[in-house]
Amino acid sequence: MNTPPTPSSSNRREGPPADGFSILRPPSPPIRRARHRTVLPGFGISAAITSLMIVALVVIPLAVLILRAASLGPTGFLAAAWTPRARAAYAVSLGSSLTAAIISSLLGLLVAWVLVRLEFPGRRILDALVDVPLALPTAVAGLVYSTLYVEKGWLGQWLVPVGIKGAYSLLGIVLVLVFVSLPFAIRVVQPVIESLDKDTEEAARLLGASRSQTFFRVVLPGILPAVVTGFALALARALGEYGSVVFISGNMPFKTEIAPVLIVSRLEEFAYAEATAIAVVLLGMSLSMLVVVNDLQQRLVRNSQ
Amino acid sequence: MTSKPRHAATATSPLGLLLITGAVATVGLLIVAPLASVFVDAFSNGPQAWWEALAHDPDTRHAIWLSLTVAPIAVLINTIFGVAAAWLVARFRFPGRSLLVSLFDVPFSVSPVVAGLALVLIFGRQGLLGPTLAWLAVKVIFAWPGLVLATTFVTLPLVVRELIPVMEAIGPEEEMAAVSLGANGWQVFWRVTLPNIRWALLHGVVLANARAMGEFGAVYVVSGHIAGATDTMPLRVEKLFQEYRTPASMAVASVLAALALLTLVAKVFIERQLETESKELEAARAPGADTDPTTGGLGP
């Protein structure tokens, strides 16, 4: 297929050349068409498949969800979505997800930095292991974490006597949420650290800045937008997580019950209206978080420029 | 002071060692310890007990079979969608394009439980299409079509997100050359596009498959959790755990964990191929390289 182009082959394609230079000077109309990309086939069929899938799987389900919640009316919606138990669940969800996303962002920054900047034996293995939470089913993570941190578990036997309960507690929820969200925090920051200009840091050091000054004044402004993106992804993932939390939290109403767990338990009681209302609040929470974080990120990018 | 000694010094300096220790401890405690304990716990009663827990329990056998059916169907649907959507977005400019791209990511920010609930509201007995489906005697919720729909939803962004950047980096020149030489759409796709994107496509498929095999929240809501009928492997893990059969639960979990490790090995291999190809692409684009006259004018 890809025979190296020779002058003669391109001559054949473009018809008889007017002069020898026409080979060097590419004809302009095809290039303009290339920019507009209208010559390629398949617009119709790819547009049809894409819009069918997006409309059927994303737009209609979410619209139905929101319309169903709207059909409850304002008072009905509040009565369903704003019960004391639901409010407690939002607080647990939001609190544990924010905590987990902050921890993930800090640990993620540390791990990403070490992976990019430091050379040590086992670095590549460490790099590959970072992706485990993306591939490991969350149910497995939840199961394992709960057995690790109970009183007789590998880690629990040391931690529980000192008063650290990592299973059936808020701490347990935060732990599994850090597990599921850590790769997002690492993988977003890593390429940005790779692209940092080391000369600027060196210049700062040579001009007499201390290590911490260099980090906070030179390095951090450059990577902060990426850290914020990682935080947003980690938060979105943590807010919606169900599989791992349901194993480890104990799911005690008002204490360790997160919003997704409450939705499921309402569904199992066939309380569809209540489940839908809570789901819409959860959806609104994650979408508004994304908007806020997006805005913050754009401001950071503008400031660092 | 040159940059090389400084760089090397950081790795062995006290601060460098501290940072490395911190990173290794983070990954070790949060990721490696749980992963190792799955296998240790699964085989704590010997391989015989492990095998019996998997093969001699009909409900577990059914769950394995169901997972191995549902995940490939969902991945296949997403592969077709991913290729079509990436072709659309990376090769054409049209109004609403950026809105469409942001819609691809919606499943990432929607809780799987909420997605499952939305499907129940449409296809469930009291849902929008409930009466129609009952009349047609088609079961979606509490049956495998619901599992496929839920799994497809949560894995929707994975293939297309891998393909778009790669297709944009490669550019449309080779495909346009093929068209100008008289190739039809399928020929362009099979002979030009697919060979160019094969590793990125495989990368997306591997990730989507891992997520599809392991999906819990969305599947939990639509499956009804019926043992021997609509329990997938992750749901089986939970049910066994609830029934205080932790060793059996761990056995199923160990199969899923082994699959995850396999996924990672494949991922590392594919990423290496991708890296090589993107370097080749860069070399071909570099100034002074032997460029085709039809693409030469498009270079930066």
Say if residues B193 and B175 touch (Cβ distance below 8 Å): yes
Burial classification of residue B18, based on how many CB atoms lie within 10 Å of its CB (0-12 exposed, 13-18 middle, 19 or more buried): exposed
Are A236 and B109 in contact (CB < 8 Å)? yes
- pLDDT truncated to tens, each residue of chain A (305 aa)? 344 443 333 333 333 333 333 333 344 444 444 444 457 888 999 999 999 999 999 999 999 999 999 999 999 999 999 999 999 999 999 999 999 999 999 999 999 999 999 988 999 999 999 999 999 999 999 999 988 888 788 888 888 888 888 788 899 999 999 999 999 999 999 999 998 888 888 898 899 888 888 888 888 888 998 999 899 989 989 999 999 999 888 888 898 999 999 999 999 898 999 999 999 999 999 888 878 887 887 888 787 66
Query: Using one digit for the tens of pLDDT, what is the confidence trace for B266-284?
Result: 999 999 998 888 888 888 8
In the stretch 136-155 of chain B, residues with CB closer than 8 A to chain A read 149, 152-153
Query: Is residue B234 less than 8 Å (CB to CB) from chain A?
Result: yes
Q: pLDDT higher for A295 or B27? A: B27
Span A46-102, pLDDT tens digits: 999 999 999 999 999 999 999 999 999 999 999 999 999 999 999 999 999 999 999
Assess contact for A232 and A294: CB atoms under 8 A. Answer: yes
Q: What is the CATH number of the domain that holds A249?
A: 1.10.3720.10
Specify if A250 maps to a domain: yes
What is the spatial distance between Cα A135 and Cα A183, in angstroms, rounded to a whole number? 10
A33 shares its domain with A179 = no
All residues of chain B having their beta carbon less than 8 Å from the beta carbon of residue A135 are 207, 210, 214, 259-261, 263-264, 267
Domain assignment present for A121: yes
Q: Are residues A217 and A193 in the same domain?
A: yes
Percent of chain B past pLDDT 90, that is, above it, reads: 62
Whether B167 has a pLDDT exceeding 50, the answer reads: yes
Q: If you count residue pairs, one on A and one on B, with CB atoms under 8 Å apart, how many are there?
A: 307
Residue of A nearest to B38 (CA): A144
Q: Are residues A174 and A129 in the same domain?
A: yes
Range B153-179 average pLDDT = 92
What integer pLDDT is reported at residue A106 of this predicted model?
A: 96
For A216, list phi and psi in degrees, rounded to 5: -75, -30
A220 and A83 in one domain?
Answer: yes
The whole-number pLDDT of residue B10 equals 62
The pLDDT of residue B19 is: 92
Residues A90 and A110 in one domain: yes
User: Residue A42 belongs to what domain range?
Assistant: 29-71
Residue B45 to residue B250: CA distance in whole angstroms: 11
A20, part of any domain: no
- Domain-located, residue A257: yes
How many Å apart are CA A141 and CA A134, to the nearest integer? 11
Kindly indicate the confidence band of residue B108, based on its pLDDT and cuts at 50, 70 and 90. confident
Please check whether residue A193 lies inside any domain of the structure: yes
| Element (DSSP H or E) covering residue B133 | helix B130-136
Return the closest-CA partner of residue A104 out of A239, A202, A274: A239
Question: Which of B146, B152, B121 is closest to A61 using CA atoms?
Answer: B121
CA distance B296 to chain A (A): 8
- pLDDT category of residue B287 using cuts at 50, 70 and 90: low
Helices (H), chain A: 7-14, 28-36, 43-54, 60-70, 73-81, 84-117, 123-129, 132-135, 138-149, 156-159, 170-194, 198-206, 211-213, 220-240, 245-248, 259-268, 272-304
Q: With beta carbons under 8 A apart, name residues in chain B contacting A175.
A: 30
CA–CA distance, B235 with B165 (Å, rounded to integer): 35
A197 is a domain residue: yes
The C-alpha of B77 sits at a distance from chain A's nearest C-alpha, in angstroms, of 9
pTM of the predicted model as reported, rounded to 2 decimal places = 0.85
Q: Are residues A219 and A266 in the same domain?
A: yes
A chain contacts of residue B84, beta-carbon cutoff 8 Å: 45-46, 49-50
Question: What total of structural domains would you count in chain A?
Answer: 2
Do A101 and A176 belong to one domain?
A: yes
User: A174 and A292: one domain?
Assistant: yes
Tell me the per-residue pLDDT of A1-18, one tens digit each, with 9 for 90 and over. Answer: 344 443 333 333 333 333
Of A71, A95, A123, the one marking the end of a domain is A71
Written as six digits, the tokens of B154 are 């949560």
Which residue ranges form the domains of chain B, and what is each CATH number? 46-282 (1.10.3720.10)
- Report the complex ipTM: 0.86
Residue A224 is assigned to a structural domain of this protein: yes
Residue A107 has its nearest CB partner, among B15, B26, B41, at: B26
Residues A211 and A265 in one domain: yes
- Which residues in chain B have their CB less than 8 angstroms from residue A290's CB? 109
A3 is a domain residue: no
Window 44-73 of B: residues touching A by CB (8 A cutoff) are none
Handedness of CA B145, B150, B153, B158 (dihedral sign): negative
Inter-CA distances, A14 with A39, A90, A187, B183, B293, Å: 17, 67, 47, 17, 11
Shared domain check, A42 and A186 = no
- A90 and A152 fall within a common domain: yes
Examine the domain organization and report whether A88 and A42 are in the same domain. no
**Residues 270-289, chain A, touching B (beta carbon < 8 A):** 272, 275-276, 279, 282-283, 286-287
